[in-house]
Amino acid sequence: MTPLALIGTAWSSIGGNRLRTGLTLLGIIIGVAAVIALMSIGRGAQEDITNRIESLGSNLLYVRPLDGDLTLDDALALVDPVFAPSVVSVAPEVSVSGSVTYRSTDTFTQVAGVTPEFADVRNFEVASGEFISPAHVLNRKNVAVLGSQTAEDLFGERDPVGVDIAISGIRFTVIGVLESKGATAFGNEDNRVLVPLTTAFFRLSGQRTAAGDLTIDLINVQADGERIEEAQQEAATVLRLRHEITDTDDFRVDTQQSVIDALSETTGTLTVFLGAVAGISLVVGGIGIMNIMLVSVTERTREIGIRKALGAKRQDILAQFVTEAVLLSIGGGLLGVGAGVVASRILDGFTLAGSELMTVFSGDIAALALAVSAAIGLFFGIYPAARAAQLHPIEALRHE
Amino acid sequence: MTAVIEVTDLRKTYRLGPLAVPVLNGVSLAVERGEMVSIMGPSGSGKSTLMNIIGCLDAPTSGSYLLEGEEVSRWGDARLAAARNRKIGFVFQTYNLLPRLSALANVELALQYGDRRNARARSLQALESVGLGHRYKHRPLELSGGEQQRVAIARALVKDPAIMLADEPTGALDTRSSAEIMAILQRLNRDQGLTVALVTHEADVARHTRRIVSLCDGLIVGDEPVAEPLRAETAEEAPA
């Protein structure tokens, strides 16, 4: 039989029992739609995270200590027009956790000691008041800039600028509030308090190396334009020289991209996981196809006998029933793609457990779901088709 | 002249668990081109089994079967299917048409598994030769028993078979329709030289053929020419 005749035959027998065909299709439609909707959510999360990280500035490097310590001098040494010409500026950072109290309200949050460069390097703007100035750092002033979330937690709608708060029991004056940034790779950046680096050292943290140097937790490095990789190399070279390293680095320099990659990998795994969970329902749909094909083979035993008497070979019968199963699964797959696209449109912007869902539909997800459903039709169609093909013509003809 | 069919010492034994049931016990028979022969016998005589083997639907346990000079008794599924497709035209007692398909599509079905050239035109022509050219669009359930059997004859005829095998072709029909069917078979045999073998247990039907082979308990017990074959007379013989 020609492929066209096969499809025509399959089509007419599928169309012969509309209700049954519809219910069989439903299994595949739901499966494919679920795969597409869930994978679109996964993709949406991936893209959301990437966007947020990129909003921090694309020319950022992060230097973190591994086994050793990073000192304030290490940070300052990175601004070196000779050894590190691609580095524009650095913003060293120390982090402590502390309770922040205003009158009877308090909140537990991250307190970061930073320099004035921090605002530039990390793309922070103050919504009201001012940022930490060089004078504040020089004089170890007890001033604080609040993240928007922290400000809201402590003060509600009021403007906190000029008000005194207590951080770990020490009095600080609020000089500014940051603009909201949302959750990023570094956690919720809106829920934090910034104080001058020196103040954090001497009043809140006070960690020092054995040699008495001040240790810091993170150096934000701004590279010159697109020269990110050069800056990464130069920063590493400067630190290796200073730390007298011969084999393994005791620090690491991450680019923005490597952070994005690492997180993309995580959300990519999440996407695949979601797809796999939805894929289970696709398999269940496939079992539905197998079930209905087995019923169909039994019902049409006589037809198989007639076809064999007319000269149909085993592979003709096999091809006929496999074509029917694949046609069912591809038909269900196509309808499922439509349903999945609609579902991911509806879910886009839907608020779930406080966070907004973002869905990204793309053709490769649809192609994947469609290919999987066709493969499932093939897989689950082969057994019933083989049973049909193996029927003995005489017995099949006698079947009532 | 080679025989269309030549079986020699054909035996067939069915196995029902530990029980061996012999059905054919050494049948030898030759059917020449252009013959019209009936195979008669009571039920259980083995005539259907013989028909199935001749029709390449079943393989004998032992013995030789030459179909147009080719030994087919040891062929596998694919070659038997091809032989059924090209050389054998079946007509069954219960018509065995596919109810979903039109008369024309049922006839065309016979060509789907083989030579598809001009399938539609040849199928229409076959329907016309059984007097159903005008009813090609109808489905089997919209046709009378006699008409359905004529569609089945057209389906057997369309591939220009070496032999037409008819298994009780009039068994489910009334007298008038039976006469019509026999008239068509006689005409095809006479005018087109179609070789026809039909299985029946009705002596009256058998007397329309030119030779009667009698089977009993898996053995041929009689093989005689019919001196004066009955001529089926119907309106169909004078087609409009």
In the structure encoding, which two tokens stand for residue B88, read together? 């054998």
Chain A residues in contact with B116 by the CB 8 A cut-off are 2
pLDDT, tens digit, 9 for 90 and up, residues B80-137: 999 999 999 999 999 999 988 899 999 999 998 888 888 899 999 999 999 999 999 9
Describe the strand order of the beta sheet including B70-71 as a list of residue ranges. Answer: B19-32, B3-16, B62-67, B70-71
Chain B residues in contact with A315 by the CB 8 A cut-off are 78
Nearest to A393 among B57, B78, B100 (CB): B57
**CB atoms A13 and B100 under 8 Å:** yes
Q: How large is the angle between the packed helices A301-309 and A256-299, nearest 10 degrees?
A: 80
Q: How many CB atoms lie within 10 A of CB A272?
A: 13
As a whole number of angstroms, the distance between CA B135 and CA B103 comes to 7
**CB atoms A309 and B82 under 8 Å:** no
**CB atoms A311 and B110 under 8 Å:** yes
Which residue in chain A has the smallest CA separation from B83?
A311
Best residue in B113, B139, B151 to probe A by mutation, most A CBs within 10 Å? B113
Q: Nearest CA of chain A to the CA of B57: how many Å?
A: 6
**CB atoms B57 and A309 under 8 Å:** yes
**CB atoms B84 and A310 under 8 Å:** yes
Residue with tokens 């005008």: B134
Local structure of B6: helix, strand or coil: strand
pLDDT, tens digit, 9 for 90 and up, residues B164-218: 999 999 988 998 999 999 999 999 999 999 999 999 988 888 999 999 999 999 9
Q: Which of B132, B49, B47, B48 is nearest to B97 (CA)?
A: B132
In the structure encoding, which two tokens stand for residue B57, read together? 């639907």
pLDDT tens, residue order, chain A (400 aa): 778 888 888 888 888 788 989 999 999 999 999 999 888 888 888 888 877 777 766 688 889 888 778 888 888 888 888 888 888 889 999 888 888 999 888 888 889 999 999 988 888 888 889 999 999 999 989 999 999 888 888 888 888 899 999 998 899 999 999 988 765 545 567 888 999 998 888 888 766 666 667 788 899 888 887 788 888 888 888 888 888 888 888 888 888 777 778 888 888 888 888 888 888 988 888 898 999 999 999 999 999 999 999 999 999 999 999 999 999 999 999 999 999 999 988 888 777 666 677 888 888 888 988 998 999 999 999 999 999 999 999 989 988 7
Q: How many CB pairs under 8 A join A and B?
A: 63
Handedness of CA B18, B19, B21, B26 (dihedral sign): positive
Task: Identify the bridge partners of residue B213 per DSSP, sorted by sequence position.
Answer: B39, B223
Q: Specify the pLDDT at position B31.
A: 94
Which residue in chain A has the smallest CA separation from B79?
A313
Q: How large is the angle between the packed helices B175-192 and B145-157, nearest 10 degrees?
A: 20
Q: How many CB atoms lie within 10 A of CB A238?
A: 20
Nearest to B109 among A310, A315, A394 (CB): A310
**CB atoms B113 and A307 under 8 Å:** yes
Count of structural domains within chain B: 1
Chain A residues in contact with B98 by the CB 8 A cut-off are 303, 306
Q: Which domain holds residue B77?
A: 3-237
CATH number for B90: 3.40.50.300
A139 contacts A241 by C-beta, under 8 angstroms = no
Nearest to B77 among A303, A306, A313 (CB): A313
